[in-house]
């Protein structure tokens, strides 16, 4: 049985806001070791939009049932994928998935869908 890893994304108000996302959307998690506030920071990226937020890494701010960024920082090399599972007003709850579960041919349709939403 595999362990499900859930994490919370915040800081989206500094970018495009949580309303730009839908349950089931695929996000990319990228390590940000040059972050001067947190050397285990994990930024959340959506192509072609770019950076959209960060994984919450403060134990006092992480929702119950979610991991801190530091908790799974060493579980992947430089980047991995996640799916949006729950949405709140200013936060997303995501589930880490293996990068092999995102077939490359689907990338074009995923990017086109995001571009369509951005124009709306």
Looking at residue 108, what is its pLDDT? Answer: 54
| CATH code that applies to domain 6-119 | 3.30.70.2330
What DSSP designation does 57 have? Answer: -
Strand, coil or helix: 109: helix
- Residue 43: CB atoms within 10 Å: 20
Q: What is the mean pLDDT of the chain?
A: 81
Residue 64 burial by Cβ neighbours in a 10 Å radius (0-12, 13-18, 19+): exposed
Look at residue 75 and tell me whether its pLDDT is greater than 90.
Answer: no
Q: Where are the domains of the chain?
A: 6-119
| No. of helices (H) and no. of strands (E), the chain | 2, 6
Looking at residue 100, what is its pLDDT? Answer: 43
| pLDDT tens profile 3-52 | 788 999 998 777 777 778 899 999 999 999 999 999 999 999 988 788 89
pLDDT band at residue 94 under the 50/70/90 scheme? very high
Look at residue 1 and tell me whether its pLDDT is greater than 50.
Answer: no
Measure the CA–CA gap between 47 and 103, rounded to whole angstroms: 15
Taking every pair of Cα atoms in the chain, the longest distance, rounded to a whole number of angstroms, is: 41
């Amino acid at each position: 049985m595999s362990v499900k890893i859930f994490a919370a994304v915040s800081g989206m108000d500094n970018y495009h806001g949580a309303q730009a996302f839908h349950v089931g959307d695929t996000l990319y998690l990228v390590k940000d070791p040059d972050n001067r506030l947190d050397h285990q920071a994990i930024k959340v990226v959506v192509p072609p939009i770019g950076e959209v937020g960060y994984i919450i890494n403060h134990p006092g701010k992480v929702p119950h049932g979610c991991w801190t960024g530091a908790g799974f920082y060493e579980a992947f090399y430089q980047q991995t994928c996640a799916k949006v599972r729950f949405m709140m007003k200013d936060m997303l709850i995501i589930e880490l998935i293996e990068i092999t579960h995102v077939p490359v041919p689907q990338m074009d349709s995923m990017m086109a869908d995001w571009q369509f939403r951005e124009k709306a």
